[in-house]
Amino acid sequence: MKKIIVVFALLAGFSAFSFTEKDSISAFTFRRLAMLEDFDCDACGCSASGGSMGFGSMLNNNFAGLRYLKQSYTSRDGIFANSPWMDENFNTVQAWARIPVTEKIQISALVPYHFNERKLTSGTENIAGLGDITIMALYTVFETQKDSTFFTHKINLGGGVKLPTGKFTEANNLGSVNQSFQLGTGSWDFPVVSEYVIKHKNLGLNTTLNYIFKTENSKNYQYGDQFNYAGTFFYLFDLKSVQIVPQAGLAGEVYQTNKQYSLGLPNTAGDILFGKFGIEAGKDKFSIGINAMLPINQNLSNGNMEANYRWSVNLNYTL
């Protein structure tokens, strides 16, 4: 029943609005919900493709580019209350694109490469390799006319699939609080997405909602479904030779309990609220963006794991 309620909330949710095109920078579109994967603690590593940092560029409506993401966590090195704490760093280099198919349909793709590290009491552990590839389709269900003089609106709805292209190693989860020290979930997962932006002149608010349905992998392990939400204010400074868009807002994640052999695993559910801020600048067909997220309130793995920060930098080319 909870899943049904979430899906209806998404269908009532909203999408992304574009600024009027100017010069050679294409129409402005704001972030895509934390959408796609910043999933559960599976958000920390194996599934992370951007997490709540978004799924779209701030200046390029249609683009291809590269993005680097860094996530820092601290968790228990063991399952006991007196287990020592350890540092975990999740790094991702990601090829990403958002390509128009028709006037109302866009295809988005994420291809991540992970190189992760955790410092155990017994030594440092490293893994690296291709992560889970995600493909999404978005449909514009409503958009106000471009000659609207006060508030303009745009709503996108969509969905897609996350392919099990990243390796899932069962041994990495044994005795570990953070069940996300993986290259992939090993499962076929299905995100449902909504985006909405309301704008007046150069000031706007972007809101995003998404829900990810996760399935059991071949090792009988299933990461919990995840609900993501975000709201971000942005402002466009349209200068003579460059466009600059600062942004600030909030983003949250709520994830369900992980399962193994259909049985719930303790201390694997949780929720977190982030403050987010960043800036993107564009000139001609190129743009560069920097974003950061800091936790405001969190309850991860029943207090046995803490998120420290996340940040990303991206370089895009307008198609």
> What CA–CA distances, in Å, run from 287 to 55, 63, 141, 186, 290?
15, 10, 28, 34, 10
> What is the C-alpha R_g of the chain?
19
Statement: residue 30 has pLDDT above 80: no
Confidence grade of residue 40 (pLDDT, cut at 50, 70, 90): very low
Q: Residues with Cβ < 8 Å from 135, sequence gap 6 or more?
A: 107, 108, 109, 110, 160, 161, 163
For residue 79, the model assigns a pLDDT of 66
Statement: residue 82 has pLDDT above 80: no
Compute the mean pLDDT over every residue in the chain, rounded to the nearest whole number. 82
Q: How far is Cα 266 from Cα 122, in angstroms, rounded to an integer? A: 25
Tokens representing residue 168 in the block: 């899932």
Query: Rounded to 5 degrees, what are φ and ψ at 10?
Result: -65, -40
Q: How far is Cα 198 from Cα 153, in angstroms, rounded to an integer? A: 5
Residue scoring higher pLDDT (275 or 8): 275
Domain ranges of the chain: 2-318
Q: How far is Cα 103 from Cα 126, in angstroms, rounded to an integer? A: 44
Using a 10 angstrom Cβ sphere, with 0-12 exposed, 13-18 middle and 19 or more buried, the burial of residue 241 is: exposed
In the beta sheet, which residues pair with residue 272?
Answer: 253, 298
Question: Comparing 10-14, 281-285, 297-301, 313-317, which segment has the lowest mean pLDDT?
Answer: 10-14
Q: If we measure between CA atoms, which residue out of 142, 132, 59, 139 comes closest to residue 107?
A: 139
Locus of tokens 């600024």: 19
Question: Comparing 7-21, 148-162, 263-277, which segment has the lowest mean pLDDT?
Answer: 7-21
- Give me the count of residues in the chain: 319
Q: Model-level pTM?
A: 0.82
The domain 2-318 is placed in CATH, from the list 2.40.128.130, 3.40.47.10, 1.10.3720.10, 2.40.50.140, at 2.40.128.130
For residue 3, the model assigns a pLDDT of 44
